[in-house]
Amino acid sequence: MENDLLPKFSVSDFVASTNQTLEYAYPSVVIEGEVESFKVNQGKFVFFNLKDAGASVGCFMMVFNLRVPLEDGMTVTVRAKPKLTNFGKFSLTIDSIKPVGEGSIKKGFELLKAKLDKEGLFALDRKRSLPELPKTVGVIASMQSAGYGDFMKIADQRWGGVTFRVYHTLVQGLDAPDALIKAIRYFNQLEVPLDALVIIRGGGSADDLSAFNDELLVREIAASRTPTLVGVGHEVDVTLSDLAADVRAATPSNAAQLLLPDKQEILSRIRYMSARLSPRMLRLVAQRAEYTTTLLRGAQDMITVQFERTARRFEYARQLVESYNPDHILRRGYALVRGEKVPGSIIEVEAHNYKLTAEVRTYEQK
């Protein structure tokens, strides 16, 4: 072919044209590989290579898009746009990344857990309790999932009168964390706050549940204005979202159990209270009657005591008065003399058993 027939570019145009071609062919690609030469420059720019046994490609991303800690050797899935830089270097510009494979997911989980734990996001003293009888509850879930069905089924069995405001959302995949964050923000900016916010997802592989280990999502849950209840996966599954929640449920069904009281239990309690009232009232009436009788007996006893005390006082006074009776002195041999103490006057002498008159012969002071 003649050169004249071939396309001709300036270097800049060629790079721009190549990028246009790449953008047309691969507007966005998902690639899985192993992280190599991971580094963060100036706290803002992330660089690493993504490799497998046969090839390696340079990757670039902004640090705010890095939602899970990375280390060399971790296997990740990235969603990226391929790009040729102005320096002719081919690279992937990543907009989302997540670890894949049990080992890498676990590694990412542990690294982020340690980081957030250090910040106190999982501290027990941050946990709030859920209201006893919530009236308005926000639910973030995939409405087509079995987990959502289980939650609603158990909720209906346990209690009624609750308004569930359901935000239907993605619960797995690269876009799930942002979708979940959007849902949480929606509920938290409501003018009238909800009583509780429930985030549920049924069981799945570690990869399926990894969206719930996204750093920004975990932070959003921890910062939620509304108390949060997170029930993700099966009993053995623990995600960082679980740990950041105010209340952690083992499963979506368990979330309904923790959120709502059991109406059968409440009814039993009401029946118990009602059944106890009648005998309780009879017992109280009997107690009052018994108390009245006791008071009456007490009053009677007090009257008796007061009477006896008065009788004793009277007897004492009577004996005192008696002791002053002059007759008692006369009985002892003394006599009572009446008359003037002048010689020649007639005086009367009274003894116990006689009286006499006598003349005063002399009178002198002793």
Partner 1 sequence: MNKSKTLTVEEKITELEKLVAWFDSEEFVLEQAVAKYESAQKLADEIQRDIGTLKNTIEQVGGAAE
- In whole angstroms, the minimum distance from the beta carbon of 293 to partner 1 comes to 15
- In whole angstroms, the minimum distance from the beta carbon of 185 to partner 1 comes to 11
- In whole angstroms, the minimum distance from the beta carbon of 295 to partner 1 comes to 14
- In whole angstroms, the minimum distance from the beta carbon of 150 to partner 1 comes to 14
- In whole angstroms, the minimum distance from the beta carbon of 271 to partner 1 comes to 7
Q: Which is nearer to partner 1, 60 or 186 (CB)?
A: 186
Q: Which is nearer to partner 1, 170 or 335 (CB)?
A: 170
Q: Which is nearer to partner 1, 277 or 296 (CB)?
A: 277
CB environment 185-194: b (16+ within 10 A), e (fewer): eebbeeeeeb
Q: Which is nearer to partner 1, 277 or 295 (CB)?
A: 277
Q: Which is nearer to partner 1, 263 or 297 (CB)?
A: 263
Residue indicated by tokens 């040729």: 84
Q: Which is nearer to partner 1, 135 or 312 (CB)?
A: 135
Q: Which is nearer to partner 1, 52 or 265 (CB)?
A: 265
- In whole angstroms, the minimum distance from the beta carbon of 278 to partner 1 comes to 7
Give the largest CA-CA distance in the chain: 193
- In whole angstroms, the minimum distance from the beta carbon of 223 to partner 1 comes to 20
Q: Which is nearer to partner 1, 235 or 265 (CB)?
A: 265
CA distances from 224 to 185, 187, 196 (A): 8, 9, 10
- In whole angstroms, the minimum distance from the beta carbon of 248 to partner 1 comes to 23
Quote the CA–CA distance of 54 and 58 in Å, as a whole number: 14
Q: Which residues bind partner 1 (CB under 8 A)?
A: 132-133, 135, 138, 140, 142-144, 152, 155-156, 159-171, 179, 182-183, 186, 263, 266-267, 270-271, 273-274, 276-278, 280-281, 284-285, 288
CA distances from 272 to 126, 157, 265, 280, 297 (A): 36, 21, 10, 12, 37
